[in-house]
Chains A and B, each alone.
Chain A
Amino acid sequence: MAPGPDPYAAMTAFNRFGLGAKPGDLALAASDPRGFLLEELRAPNAGSIPSDGLQTTPQALQMFFAEQQQLRIARETAAAIAAPLAMASANASPTDAKLTDTKPADAKPAEAKLKPQEPPAEQKLFRAQAMARFNAQLKAGSGLVERLVAFWSNHFAVSVAKGQALRATAGAFEREAIRPHVLGKFADLLIAVESHPAMIFYLDNQRSIGPGSNAGRFDGKGLNENLAREILELHTLGVDGGYAQSDVTTLARIITGWSIAEAGSETGEPGAFLFKANWHEPGVHNLLGKNYPQTGRQQGEAALRDLARHPATARHIATKLARHFVADAPPQDLVDALAKAFRDSDGDLAVVSAALVAHDRAWSAPPTKIRDPNEFVIAAMRATGFQTNDPGQIWGVMNSLGMPLWQPAGPNGYADTTAVWASPEQMKLRLDVSWQMAQRARDVGPPLGVLDTVCGLAASRETRDALSHAESRPQALALLFMSPEFQRR
C-alpha cells in the first residue's frame, strides 16, 4: 500500500496510538503501521489480563468487610478495657462493617495501633491491581489496546478518594467491567459499568431509594440523582445531548434498587451487585419520550441499551476518542467518520477503534498533544527496559505529575487537553521526573541507541545533537525523555 517504510508513521503507531516503542518494536511496524495496529485489535482476548492472584470485586469487598469487622471487635475490646478509666466514649464508631464514606486517613490511627506492620486490606488489593495494570501496559505490543482500556477507564471514571471500598475495588472494576468490553459492544460496556459495585458506590446509587418503593414509603428516604446525572451527562449522551432535568430524575427512579450486597447479606453474595426490588421505584417511567414498562432490573437495562444507541451518544464518544488520540480540537471529518462507524455497527467498539486507526486524518494530523503522565512514565520504562515489582515506583511518578492512579478529581476523569498536561508547573516536574528516571536506568546502552528504539529515523537532528553533546549518559537519557519526539504524540 505505502510506497516504502515511513519512519514517521511507525513512530506515530507507537506514540499517538500506543505506549511507546520497546527495543526492536519499530521494525515490526515499519512495513505496514496501520496493519500492525489493526492486527492487534483482532487478537483474541485483546484487553483481558490474567487474573492470577487477583481478587474479584466480591472477594475484595469480603476481605475488606472481614478486616473492618476485626478492627471493630478490637476497638470494642480496647474500649471495654478502658471503660472503667474513662467514662463512656462520646464518639463511638459505627457498629456495622458496611460500605461507609470513611476515607482511609480517618481510619489510620486505630489501624496503626492495632496492626503496626500489616497494611490494610484495601491497600494490598490496590497494590496488586495496580501492578497488574502496569504490567499489562509494559508488556503490550504497541499499547493501543491498553490505551483504549485507559481511555474507557477514564470515560467511566471512579476515584479511590471516595473511600476504602473504592480503593479495594477500583482495579477490579477496570478488569471486570472495562477490559472485557473495550473491543465489544458499547451497550454491554455501559451495563457492566453501571451495575458494577465500584461505580454504584462511587456515585452513591446504593443510597438512592424510590420514594414510592416499599423501603421509601417506610423510612422516608429518597432519591439520589448522582449516578443518573453522570450516566446522561458523561457516560452516554453528553451534556449537550438533549436531555432535561426531568430525564435525570426519571433515570434516577429507573435505577433505584441497583445496589450492592453488604456484609452478611442473605439475599446476595456480599460485595456483589444486588438488585433490591423493594427499593425500586415501581411503575412505568418515561425517559426521553419513551415508556419503560419493564419491572425490576430489566427496566434499567432497557433504558441503558437505548441510551447506548442514541445518536448523541455516538457523537459524544466519537468526539472524545478523536480528542484523546488525535487533537484537542479534532478534525470534524474524523469525528463524523467515527460517529458513523459507531451508529452503523450498533456501537461495536472494535469497528469504531478500527475506523480510527484506518482514517488518514488520524495519521496526518501533527503531534500537538502531549503524553499524559501515565503514558509518559510507561513509555520511558518500555524504552529503557526498566523493571520493577513495586507499583509504587510508577504511581509515585504519576502522583508527582498530578495523575494519581484511579483517582481523578471528579467523575469527568482526568483532563485530556494539551494545556493541562503541558503547563509550566507540569513541564518543570517532567524535567525533575526525567532526571530521576534517567539516573535509575541501568544497562540501557548508549542513549542514541535508545533514541533509535523510540524514534528510529524519525528523530530530529536537534534531538540527536542534544543527546550526543550531553555531558553524561543520564543527562542524555533525561533529554531524550524531555524531547518533543518523546513528549508529543
Chain B
Amino acid sequence: MRLLVPAPILSRRAALQGLSVSFAAAFTPKPLSAAGARDPRVVVIILRGALDGLTAVAPVGDPDYALLHGALALPAVGDHAGLPLDGFFALNPAMPVFARLYKEKRALVAHAVATSYRERSHFDGQDVLESGYPGPNRTDSGWLNRAIALLPAAGGAPQRGLGLGVTAPLVMRGPAPVLGWAPQGLPSAGDALAMRALDLYAHRDPALAAALQAGLDTEKMATQGGMSDEAKKNKGGMDSPGGMRQAAAGAARLLAAPEGPRVAALAFDGWDTHQNEGAGTGQLATRLSGLDGAFEEFEKGLGERWKDTTIVAISEFGRTVRINGTNGSDHGTGTVAFLAGGAVAGGRVVANWPGLKADQLYQGRDLAPTTDLRSVLKGVLADQLGIRAPALGEKVFPDSAGVAPMKGLVQA
C-alpha cells in the first residue's frame, strides 16, 4: 500500500514507523478460490446502548415470548408483524434489506449471544465488547485493531484500519495505524499549511505527526474516490437513519478504493431503549431501519468487493425480557449479532435457544447467553482474514483460548 499523495516533508512510513507490528506466523493466506484470490473486507458496527435482541429478531415460536415481552414483542401476524426467517424467529419489519440478504443466503443472525461481561454497565460492557479482553478496564486497544496488526504488510506498508467518526471507536484503536473519516462541512485548510504543520510535528511531536498525516491521507482518498461535497455534508447524528446510512456510504467508498483500508469500524448510537421502545414501529424500529440502510449502502458502495465482504453488527449486551414500567426495557444480557455481506454463508439463525421460562432466564430477568460472541467474531476473523486460532486466543481476544472460532460463517 502506498501513500496516495506524496508528502514531500514526512513520508507516511516514517510517521508510522514503530507503530505497527506484524506476526507472519499468525496469518494463513486465504486459499485461492475458483474466481481467484479473495480480497476480503471486514466491517464491524458497534451498536451502543444495548440492543434489544428480542425485538430485533423475535423468537415468535417461543410460547412465552409474546406475553413476557409485552408491548415490545413483534406480532407474528398483522400490521408490522415480524418478517419470518425460519419458522421460529422473525425479523423486525424495519429491516427489509437484511431480510432479502437472508433469503439470498448472504445474511445470518446469531442469537442469545453475549460477551464474557455479566454486569450491566454500558460503558464497561462496551469496553469488553470492543477491547476484546475478558473484563473491563482495558481501554488501550481494541480487538479489531490488534487483528489488523497481525496481517502481513501490503506493498511494504502495514495494513491500516478505518475508523468512522470524528473519534475512532475503541474496537479500532491500538497498534495498527488507523484512518478516520467523518461527514463534515468545513472548508479544507489546504496543502501548504498542512505540510508546514507536519514539518513542525515531525520535529516536536511525532504522535501528532502520525495522526495528522493519516487524517490528511484519508481525506485525499475520499476526495479522489469522487466523494462530492454533497456526500460529505452531515446528514444527521449516528443515532439517526440518515447519519447511519451516510457513515456506511463513506466507509464503503473508502473500503472499495484499490489502495484503501480493508477493515473498518463504525459505531451507531441510541439503542438504550428504557422507554417507549416500540416493536415493529417506534424508536427501536427507526434505529434498526438505519442499520438496515447501512447494510444497503455497503452493498451498493462496495461494488465488486461486496462479494468479499463480511459485516458484523454487535452490541454490548441485551435487555430485560420483561418490559419495565415505562414501556421500555432495562439492561440485560443475551442479545443478537447480525452478519451480512457477499462473503457470509447465510440464510440461517445460529442459536442454541435457551428458552424464556422463569428458570431459563439469566438471573430471572434476561435472555440467557448460550453462545460466546467471541466465537462468532473469531470465526469471521479466521475465515475472512486467515488469522489462526492461537493468535485469536492470545492476541486478538486475550485469555480466550477455550473459546473456539465458530466454523462455517464465511463461504468457503
Interface residues of A (CB under 8 A from B): 101, 161, 204, 207-209, 211, 216, 221-226, 229, 233-234, 239-240, 245, 248, 400-402, 409-410, 412, 415, 417, 419-429, 431-436, 460, 462-463, 466, 470-471, 475, 478-479, 482-484, 487-488
Contact = CB atoms under 8 A, between A and B. Distances in A.
B187 A436 contact: yes
Given A425-B218, A462-B204, A478-B193, 9 more contacts: A207-B326, A208-B326, A402-B165, A425-B165, A428-B216, A431-B197, A462-B200, A484-B204, A484-B205
Contacts of B182: 402, 425, 429
13 contacts: A161-B239, A233-B123, A409-B269, A422-B211, A424-B180, A424-B210, A427-B211, A428-B180, A429-B184, A435-B193, A436-B186, A460-B204, A483-B204
Contact of B208 (A204, A224, A427, A436): A427
A401 B239 CA distance: 17
B331 to A, nearest CB: 8
A424 B167 contact: no
A432 B186 CA distance: 7
A239 B189 contact: no
Contacts of A400: 184-186
B165 A101 contact: no
Given A204-B274, A409-B48, A484-B201, A424 B215 contact: yes
B194 interface: yes
B372 interface: no
A401 B167 CA distance: 9
B205 A429 contact: no
Interface string B137-162: 10100000000000000000000000
B168 interface: yes
Interface of B: 48-49, 119-124, 136-137, 139, 163, 165-168, 173, 178-182, 184-190, 192-194, 196-197, 199-201, 203-205, 207-208, 210-216, 218-219, 237, 239, 269, 272, 274-276, 324-326, 328, 330-331, 363
B325 A410 contact: no
Contacts of A221: 325-326
A204 B173 CA distance: 33
Nearest to B182: A425
Contact of A475 (B166, B196, B216, B269): B196
Contacts of A248: 120
A488 B205 CA distance: 10
Given A101-B276, A422-B207, A463-B200, A471 B187 contact: no
A466 B187 contact: no
Contacts of A478: 189, 193, 197
B186 A434 contact: no
Contacts of A226: 274, 330
B215 A427 contact: yes
> What 9 pairs across the A-B complex have the smallest Cβ distances?
A222-B325, A425-B180, A428-B215, A402-B166, A424-B215, A424-B214, A435-B189, A427-B212, A484-B205
B140 to A, nearest CB: 8
A482 to B, nearest CB: 5
A428 B212 contact: yes
B389 to A, nearest CB: 29
B192 A471 contact: yes
A182 B46 CA distance: 35
Contacts of A222: 324-326
Nearest to A101: B276
Contact of B199 (A233, A240, A410, A466): A466
Nearest to A232: B121
Contacts of A223: 324-325
A425 B123 contact: no
A301 B167 CA distance: 38
B324 A425 contact: no
Contacts of A431: 189, 193-194, 197, 212, 215-216
B164 to A, nearest CB: 9
Given A239-B124, A423-B167, A429-B186, A483 B200 contact: yes
Contact of A429 (B48, B166, B196, B276): B166
Contacts of A209: 325
Contacts of A470: 196
Contacts of A471: 192
A423 B163 CA distance: 10
Contacts of A415: 167
Given A224-B274, A245-B120, A466-B200, A423 B193 contact: no
A239 B208 contact: no
A226 B326 CA distance: 11
B268 to A, nearest CB: 11
B203 A462 contact: yes
Nearest to A402: B166
B186 A482 contact: no
A432 B189 contact: yes
A428 B193 CA distance: 11
A54 to B, nearest CB: 27
A455 to B, nearest CB: 13
B237 A424 contact: no
B186 A204 contact: no
Given A223-B324, A409-B48, A425 B181 contact: yes
Given A432-B187, A433-B186, A482 B123 contact: no
Contacts of B326: 204, 207-208, 221-222, 224
A410 to B, nearest CB: 7
Contacts of A436: 186-187
Interface centre among A420, A421, A487, by most B CB within 10 Å?
Answer: A420
Nearest to B326: A207
Contacts of A434: 189, 193
A208 B274 CA distance: 11
Contacts of A234: 123
Contacts of B275: 101, 204, 207, 224
Nearest to A434: B189
A224 B325 contact: yes
B179 A208 contact: no
Given A224-B275, A239-B121, A425-B218, A479 B325 contact: no
B189 A420 contact: no
Given A462-B200, A466-B196, A401 B212 contact: no
Nearest to A224: B326
